[in-house]
Chains A and B, each alone.
Chain A
Amino acid sequence: MELVGEEKKIQALFSELRLADEQAAPSFIGVWNRAQLRTRTRVSPLNFSLAATAFAVFVAVVALALWSGSRPQTPPINQTVAITPVTSPFTPVTPPVTPTTTSEPTPKVITVVEQRQAARKLRAARFAARQRAELLAARRAEIRDATAISSWQSPTATLLSSQNDALLNSLPQLNESVKELKSFLPNK
């Protein structure tokens, strides 16, 4: 059979090729060891991303700590503010008073909370006044519109009026005489 012969020939050629390849093949141990080395030295992308994230978080925490340390301290909420009455330049200068047993005028002390409450009340009052004013203005506008509508006259109303309006508007009564009825008839 030709096919068998052909297959045998191909087989022989491949066998020769295999022999040559086997001689040129690298040692298994060498390839295996290199692969193992690559396994050890290789850093997976997941590990790298985890490390990068951890580093970024660490940097952020350190930066936050530094920023909060360098920030100026804010006063506590209930801290009192001493307001001394401002002296006008035109007020007569009082002669210096020698210290006596009478008590000195103490500066007016207002807490921050009180200040805030007062400001809030003032804002509420302004808001209520503004609302009231708007409401009043709206009512006035409504009244003006209503009066305008009630006194309105059509510009063509004069065309509808005539001298015979009385005749046209009046109706003959049932108990009227014929003579009276004749008055409704046109004169010939």
Chain B
Amino acid sequence: MDIAELKAELEQYHAACFGWALSCCARDRAEAEEVLQTVYLKILEGKARFRGEASLKTWLFAVIRKTAATEYRRNLLRKLRVAVSSEQVSKREPAGGEVDAAFDRSEEQVRFRLALQHLPARQRETLHLVFYEDLSLREAADVMGVSIGSARQHYERGKKRLREILERTEVDYGISWRGKENPGAV
């Protein structure tokens, strides 16, 4: 597959790739864009080469995941160096804290995004690949580099955990809302 062909294919998957990059970068838009750019750079330089062992989408997602992990480690080291000098090690903050006002369409969506940030990485990735990217469990396992059994476990646990978090936040939200409306009630 030459570069022109690959470019056309990549353009087709660009939006999905960006969504996946967002998920891998804890929904940090700038970082996701940087990761995507690095992935394209790798493809252009021939460092990442599609050999047809899996589908292009699966391969692309795997490259994005690996690149995001590398970038994350690099950023973490950079942050650590800065933190050591200022004696405050900052943990990777989920981008849920910087939720744009544009995305605040519904309270449920906001709660959902926050709940996703609280899921373990593997569970979040599995749910994202299955529900967001419409991949099968086998494909999701290929992207994450795990067995299908492991992917299934992450999927089930992820769903359960997500439901629990959503329910809890719903209750919390209800209490806080009621508290605001009627301070004497709570």
State the A residues within 8 Å of B (CB): 6-7, 10-11, 13-14, 16-18, 20-22, 24-26, 28, 31-32, 34-36, 38-39
Contacts and interface: CB of A to CB of B under 8 A. Distances in A.
Contact of A32 (B18, B22, B40, B108): B40
Contact of B7 (A10, A13, A24, A32): A32
Contacts of B7: 32
Given A11-B131, A22-B19, A35-B37, A28 B113 contact: no
A18 to B, nearest CB: 6
Contacts, number: 70
A12 to B, nearest CB: 9
The 10 tightest CB contacts between A and B, nearest first, are: A35-B40, A14-B131, A28-B14, A25-B18, A35-B41, A14-B132, A21-B19, A13-B112, A28-B11, A22-B15
A11 B131 CA distance: 5
Interface in B2-17: 7, 10-11, 14-15
Contact of B37 (A6, A18, A38): A38
15 contacts: A10-B131, A13-B108, A13-B112, A14-B131, A17-B19, A17-B132, A21-B22, A22-B19, A24-B29, A26-B33, A26-B36, A28-B10, A32-B10, A32-B11, A35-B41
Contacts of B103: 20
Contacts of B22: 21
Given A6-B163, A17-B113, 4 more contacts: A26-B33, A28-B10, A31-B37, A32-B10
Interface residues of B, number: 32
A25 B128 contact: no
B45 interface: yes
Contacts of B106: 16
A115 B36 CA distance: 82
A35 B162 contact: no
Contacts of A25: 14-15, 18-19
Contacts of A24: 29, 102
A22 B18 CA distance: 8
B127 interface: yes
A96 to B, nearest CB: 93
